Chain A
Amino acid sequence: MHPYSIGPVTTMDVQVPNLLDDALGGGGRVVLIEDCVETSGAFVLHHFLKRSLSPNSSDAVIFLSFSQPFSHYDRILRKMGCNLVVRRDNKRLLFFDLLMLNSLGREEEKTSEDLLLSLYEKVHKAVEICSSPARNITIIIDDVSLLEVAVNCLSNMVLDFLHYCYSLTAEFGCSLITLNHEDIYSSLDKSSLILQMEYHADVVIKAEPLSTGLATDVHGQLTVIDKGLGGGVCNSGKICNFQFRIKDNQIEYFYPGSRT
């Protein structure tokens, strides 16, 4: 058995080290998760969410959701052994449901700029509230591409918003985890949005399908590019590459070919 292949976890609260955690080490300040239509990278977000909300720490999470309602995350995280409702009640999780932000036919008088400004104010306030007893804060944005749609595809404005968020990481020492879809921008004139996001990220995690096609026991492969700020296995600019299998209660990570 491979040292990293994990058997069933009996105690919910025990964090079993896995390849992804090893690759991340102390965790980057700014993490970008990239995925594509074939392979969703949402499970990496869930992983970070669970890690930040682990009962052993007092870290707080500010979650900006553009893609899924709270109940969706609640159900997934509960299967992983983390009750989001309790965390929300304890003020360790601040969940912003932004699904209806600037929906068609609503808030028409507001410009996209106003929307982003008020959103940033909310985030800033939330960070300030969370940091009153000093603790690690993680800001998670589920799906920057949907944020883009919400502000009428003005990607420059999204970039500005993200820059403000990056400045928060410097000011309050919080982490910023974003998800975006790489294949949207893969046409010839690659958008500056994804390029700049990649530039600002300390860690880039790419989720891709297997080149050999779908398999029931290997769901895809992850590439972790660490630019060398954390203390992970693949610091100093190394690239880690491994495969994963998503289960309800955990995700198995393993090196290619190490599974029998």
Chain B
Amino acid sequence: MAGNKPRVSSFSRNFTAASNTISQIPGLKHGPNGTMFLSSGILDLDKILGGGFTLGSLVMVMEDPEAPHHMLLIRNFMSQGLVHNQPLLYASPAKDPRGFLGTLPSPVFSKDEKSRDRDAEQEKGLRIAWQYKKYFDEQNSEFQRDEKSEYCNDFDLRKPLERHFYSGQQIDCIRLEDSADLTTFHDRCSSFLSQTPRNDRNITCPGRIAIQSLGAPQCDFSDKECNMLSFVRSLKNTIRSSNAVAVITFPPSLFSPSFSKRLQHLADTLVSVKAIPDEDKELAKLLTGYQDMVGLLSVHKVARINTQVPTILEATTFSMKLQKRRSLILECLNQAPIDGSSGISYASSGSCTGSSKTGALDF
């Protein structure tokens, strides 16, 4: 069978030649099944997805109609690309997409910043048993933070990206309002992607496409659901054969359920963000660290390129927190300990690991 042909089987694939070229390109690393990962710009999200966004995949983010949490994901994704000197295409229904570039966060480089949470943990001294898992995770992430600081940076959301990151690179900004029909927009995406062709021998610098709020009412095409589907389908297939990742956010609440499902099926990786109400007493009682949370992030689908095995995550819902008001972190939800006075035995609250709680709190 497989041995009859001179074609190299997947078992003996030699990566040495390819990895040499890759090691020169920052922001890429090998994943399973001959795929490559590109950092999402959020360390925890990379970790959750098993390494980052798969090169050649389409990432869809379902927006919350009430809060702009998807912007956090888009900003980090774009910033990371600029830090790695990767070409970027940004499209938005806003009046001035280029102005948005000024809000991109700046990377944190200094070493002492990186070890800050570890110091914080050590100061606390006492570790409480029901949270031990959280601590293990953080130690691991700490380790990765040092090891792969090149692959994914830490971003300070309060500091704007410095000027020199914008210079000398190609940034396309597109107003979705102007693109009356999606064909011209698609052509621009295609010509952008044609600069980063997929070629096994010679891997070029990967490109990033960020499309914010596709199908928002400002766009002329927002009522042409089929056109949008055609666009996303074409973009997905072009992306697949090029060296790039596209992140598209869309407001599912504005669309018909069937259209929204179609978009979800088109996504390789599907993520949704949700705001949490400010004063939800019940949630506050249920979760630790509720005050620090800004929202919840759910991972619905992880890209399955070149494989049929689904990635089963330990937890699908994560809390988005702003650590020290500047860097975005994702954490498993941690159930708060039950009040001793309430008299509920530990048996009922015994399941306090990350995965089991998400079941109760599946948003």
Chain A positions near chain B (C-beta within 8 angstroms): 12-13, 37-40, 42-43, 46, 55, 69, 71-72, 75-76, 78-79, 81-83, 85-86, 99-100, 102-105, 145-146, 149-150, 152-153, 181, 183-187, 191, 213-216, 219, 246-248
Contacts and interface: CB of A to CB of B under 8 A. Distances in A.
Contacts of B229: 149, 153
Interface stretch (B21-29, B166-174, B253-261): B253-261
B334 interface: no
Contacts of A219: 310, 312
Contacts of B225: 153
A130 B264 CA distance: 36
Contact of B2 (A40, A69, A78, A248): A78
B303 to A, nearest CB: 11
Contact of B265 (A43, A152, A181, A214): A181
The 4 closest A-B pairs by CB, nearest first: A153-B226, A103-B234, A99-B237, A75-B306
Contacts of B270: 37
A213 B359 contact: yes
A233 B29 CA distance: 47
B231 A104 contact: yes
Given A37-B270, A183-B261, A184-B262, A46 B308 contact: yes
B308 A76 contact: yes
Contact of A81 (B1, B310, B316): B1
Given A37-B261, A75-B34, A105 B183 contact: yes
Contacts of B10: 75, 78-79
Contact of A248 (B1, B183, B234, B307): B307
A37 B300 CA distance: 8
Contacts of B5: 83, 85-86
B309 interface: yes
A74 B1 CA distance: 14
Contacts of B175: none
A249 B300 CA distance: 24
B265 A184 contact: yes
Contacts of A246: 308-310
B264 A75 contact: no
A181 B257 CA distance: 13
A99 B233 CA distance: 8
B316 A13 contact: no
Interface in B283-337: 300-301, 304-310, 312-313, 316
Contacts of A42: 308
Contacts of A75: 10, 33-34, 306-307
B182 interface: yes
B4 interface: yes
A247 B312 CA distance: 12
Contacts of B234: 100, 103-105
Nearest to B260: A184
B187 interface: yes
B30 interface: no
A75 B1 CA distance: 15
B91 to A, nearest CB: 15
Nearest to B304: A40
Residue among B33, B265, B304, B312 with the highest chain A CB neighbour number at 10 A: B265
Given A99-B237, A105-B187, A149-B226, A181 B261 contact: yes
A208 B257 CA distance: 18
A158 to B, nearest CB: 13
B131 interface: no
A105 B234 CA distance: 10
Nearest to B233: A149
Interface in B195-230: 225-227, 229-230
B240 interface: yes
Given A37-B301, A38-B300, A214 B240 contact: no
Contact of A99 (B34, B240, B313, B359): B240
B164 interface: no
B194 interface: no
Contacts of A40: 304, 308, 310
Given A75-B33, A79-B10, A86-B4, A104 B308 contact: no
A103 B256 CA distance: 23
A144 B6 CA distance: 35
Contacts of A39: 310
Interface string B1-19: 1101101011000000000
Contacts of B264: 37
A71 B258 CA distance: 30
Residue among B257, B258, B313 with the highest chain A CB neighbour number at 10 A: B258
B2 A86 contact: yes
Contacts of B316: 214
Given A37-B261, A78-B10, 15 more contacts: A42-B308, A82-B1, A83-B1, A86-B5, A103-B230, A103-B233, A104-B183, A104-B234, A105-B183, A145-B265, A146-B233, A149-B262, A181-B262, A186-B258, A187-B257
Contact of B307 (A76, A105, A152): A76
